[in-house]
């Protein structure tokens, strides 16, 4: 069911999938956050499956899907506040949060301030480091391209999110992602690139996590190199690494069953009874 809240004067769209489960999972909530140029539509199948047991909330982050832009920069902190407002409107005080890519950056910003509202969080093709200088320069160049013609960036970026060997196989998915991204405004795209460019290094959040963390990475991710991100899984014993073979940046399409299963297992881990002395 579609819902909207007003956040900083902008309409924010989200869905709240009710629980069909009768086996004690009723209060258990999973929040799914999509990545850059996507929308909550990427979660359709995951949400359908998870909502058999859990309450599932999907949010269109500012500038994406049916949610409006806010000002001139969508910082990860502001997007995390937006998520908090949605949860507040639903009176949800605890959840497991799963963020794909940019949604993972938002999840980390949320965890920084509201870890007490999380039973655990998953970074799905995402990570906790800030943009290095070279990447910031790339983003500035990309921002200029978008200001002239966003379609150029969208057409180049979206296929490049898939492992090279998967681009033919998933051509219909790629076309659909391009179509959906093309409905975003220039301002929405630029705002998110500005926000990602200036996001903080949040490796300390991983290091000090007091809740279970899942880091799910694609072995063939063209934009987030597996070997350079893998060490982040060593930052804390709370972190479980799942490596997806033959997968780029789009595990929910390229390794659908495997990544859904990993998320389900992770959710179970987040709801294990606490050991003595744990909060
Ligand atoms: C995403 O997929 O959300 C973004 O490409 C992540 C990024 O650009 O850092």
- Average predicted confidence (pLDDT) for the chain: 95
- The continuous run of DSSP H or E covering 244 comes out as strand 239-244
> Mean pLDDT throughout 174-198?
98
Phi, psi of 17, rounded to the nearest 5 degrees: -85, 120
Reported as a single tens digit per residue, the pLDDT across 132-179 is 999 999 999 999 999 999 999 999 999 999 999 999 999 999 999 999
In the structure, what pLDDT confidence band is assigned to residue 279 with cuts at 50, 70 and 90?
Answer: very low
What is the 197 CA–ligand 1 centroid distance (Å)? 10
What integer pLDDT is reported at residue 54 of this predicted model? 94
> Average pLDDT of 205-209?
98
Does pLDDT of 21 surpass 90? no
Tell me the C-alpha distance between 164 and 81, whole Å: 36
| pLDDT level of residue 26 (50, 70, 90 thresholds) | low
Name the token pair of 260.
């859904």
Provide the pLDDT confidence category of residue 32 given band limits of 50, 70 and 90. very high
Which pLDDT does position 130 carry in this prediction? 98
Task: Report d(CA 146, CA 278) in Å as an integer.
Answer: 48
CA 34, 39, 45 angle in degrees (round to 5)? 75
Task: Please give the helix or strand (H or E) that residue 27 lies within, else none.
Answer: none
- Tell me the pLDDT band of 3, cut-offs 50, 70 and 90: very high
Question: In the prediction, which pLDDT does 24 show?
Answer: 60
Token pair listed for 124: 């799905």
Is residue 104 predicted with pLDDT exceeding 90? yes
Average pLDDT rounded to a whole number, residues 24-50: 93
193, 154 contact by CB (below 8 A): no
DSSP letters for 39-63:
-GGGGHHHHHHHTTTSEEEEE--TT
CA of 231 to the centre of ligand 1 (A): 19
16: CA distance to ligand 1 center in Å?
25
Q: Which residues line ligand 1 (CB under 6 A)?
A: 35-36, 101-102, 196, 223
Q: Which of 102, 126, 162, 228 to mutate to test the pocket of ligand 1 (most atoms within 8 A of CB)?
A: 102
Q: Which atom of ligand 1 is nearest to the CA of 125?
A: 2
Average pLDDT over residues 98-124: 98
């Amino acid at each position: 069911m579609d819902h909207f809240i007003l956040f900083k004067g902008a309409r924010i769209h989200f869905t709240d999938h009710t629980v069909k489960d009768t086996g004690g999972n009723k209060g258990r909530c999973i929040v799914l956050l999509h990545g850059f140029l996507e929308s909550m539509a990427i979660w359709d199948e995951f949400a359908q499956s998870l909502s058999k047991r859990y309450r599932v909330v999907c949010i269109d982050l500012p500038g994406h899907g049916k949610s409006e832009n806010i000002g001139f920069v969508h910082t990860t902190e502001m997007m995390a506040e937006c998520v908090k407002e949605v949860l507040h409107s639903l009176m949800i005080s605890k959840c497991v949060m799963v963020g794909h890519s940019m949604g993972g950056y938002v999840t980390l910003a949320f965890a920084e301030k509201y870890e007490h509202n999380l039973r655990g969080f998953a970074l799905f093709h995402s990570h906790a480091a800030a943009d290095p200088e070279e990447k910031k320069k790339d983003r500035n160049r990309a921002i200029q391209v978008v200001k002239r013609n966003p379609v150029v960036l969208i057409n180049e970026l979206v296929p490049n999110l898939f492992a090279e060997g998967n681009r033919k196989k998933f051509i219909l998915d790629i076309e659909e992602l391009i179509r959906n991204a093309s409905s975003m405004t220039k301002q929405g795209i630029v705002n998110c690139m500005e926000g990602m460019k200036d996001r903080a290094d949040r490796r300390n959040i991983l290091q000090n996590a007091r809740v279970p963390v899942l880091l799910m990475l694609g072995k063939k991710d063209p934009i987030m190199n597996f070997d350079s991100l893998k060490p982040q899984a060593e930052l804390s014993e709370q972190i479980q690494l799942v490596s997806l073979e033959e997968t780029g940046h789009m595990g929910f399409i390229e390794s659908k069953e495997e990544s859904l299963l990993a998320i389900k297992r992770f959710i179970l881990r987040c709801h294990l009874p606490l050991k003595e002395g744990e909060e």
